[in-house]
Amino acid sequence: MSAASTWPLRRHGHQRDCGAHGAVRAACTPVGVARTRRRAGKCGLFAHAGRRCRAPRVAAMTSQPEPARTDPSASVPVPASAPAPGSDSDSGSGSAPAPFPGAVPPASLPGAVPAVPGPVSRSVSLDLTGRTALVTGAASGIGRACALRLAAAGARVRAVDLDPEGLESLADEVACEAGPSAPAVDLRLLDLTTPAGLDAAERAADGSDVLVNAAGRQLVRPLEEFPPEEFRAMLTLMLEAPFRTTRGALPGMYARGWGRITHISSVHGLRASAYKSAYVAAKHGLEGLSKTTALEAAPHGVTSNCVNPAYVRTPLVERQIADQAEAHGIPPERVVADVLLADSALKRLLEPEEVAEAVAYLCTPAASFLTGCALPLDGAWTAH
């Protein structure tokens, strides 16, 4: 087992650090209808018209240790701890001398953090019936939101992650939303930091029409204290793994004359922050990989783009906000506005569903000329 796969996960019941695992739909509603979320006492159970709706378990799960999930898109520097596996963004904990030292027990933030006004609707018209979509980091956060969005558009989803419970609850939610006639989710339990996991991911990408690379994690430390093995593992997960899935997907996309590749990068693919050397290096490399792919793939009807979120609302980020607010005696809104979003003109967190809607747009015919681009969802952070 690699060093990267041995870090313990922190849990609150079924709630994982990164993403939305454990937060499920309050009701199974038709696609496009606004939905709310509640905490589930048991993964994979959904309320439906007063009863529980449990979808049949899904197909082949290849097994490897430990979860690597979707990262929200950037996180507050926090006190020292093991790196948190996650999905794409800075949502890990770290041991850098943070601007706000001294963590305290997590606090709940019902309504404390500014949110998008109203539910995020699926406003992009997209039909992926007959298409296959591979999503890495699909068990939580941005990756989960992307998997749900592409499934809602009719795609057959192959979901790659290290979190078996998160993958199963994703499959349940897809079936509950779309009904029994929807294509079953193909679950792939893979560790994308290992040679075996990379080989399996490349094979899993074969035959996919849509590829979304959303797996990632974060560790915050000064360069001179950054563990070389963790630096290597993070680049493997967030740069080599997207290379391998792209490599696996391209031949089939070329043969069919159509393909959409989207990498969930970060504002840190366009800007740097102190103490995040591995994350920033991986995301900047991902931008270059995407641009090179765009140049090579354009004659074959295949596009390649990056989506670059700033801070995304996930349980980990909200707990970090609560920690900082309590430790320094300031309201959570000030932590968000003055610390996380100091460089953002929009003083709220991004929702995972907003990122997924941008990914959906990149799959539409209207986006067929959009390739080799970085699409910042950063509230004007990079406008500085």
DSSP 3-state assignment of 107? Answer: coil
In angstroms, the CA 290 to CA 294 distance is 6
367, 303 in Cβ contact below 8 A? yes
In angstroms, the CA 299 to CA 223 distance is 41
State yes or no: is 311 an active-site residue: no
In angstroms, the CA 76 to CA 204 distance is 34
217, 84 in Cβ contact below 8 A? yes
DSSP 3-state assignment of 62? Answer: coil
Backbone φ, ψ for residue 16 (5° rounding): -100, 165
Distance of CA 120 to the CA centre of its chain: 17
In angstroms, the CA 301 to CA 240 distance is 24
User: Which residue among the candidates 254, 275, 279, 361 is catalytic per the annotation?
Assistant: 279
In angstroms, the CA 54 to CA 44 distance is 7
254, 261 in Cβ contact below 8 A? no
> Tokens representing 36?
């709310």
Give the C-alpha distances (Å, rounded to integers) separating 25 from 30, 43, 158: 12, 11, 21
Give the C-alpha distances (Å, rounded to integers) separating 261 from 30, 85, 277: 27, 23, 25
Residues in Cβ contact with 98 at an 8 Å cutoff, skipping those fewer than 6 apart: 76, 77, 78, 79, 220
Query: For residue 151, which amino acid is it?
Result: A
Q: How much is the CA Rg of the chain, to the nearest whole Å?
A: 19
Give the C-alpha distances (Å, rounded to integers) separating 288 from 246, 281, 283, 295, 360: 13, 11, 9, 11, 22
DSSP 3-state assignment of 84? Answer: strand
Catalytic residues: 279
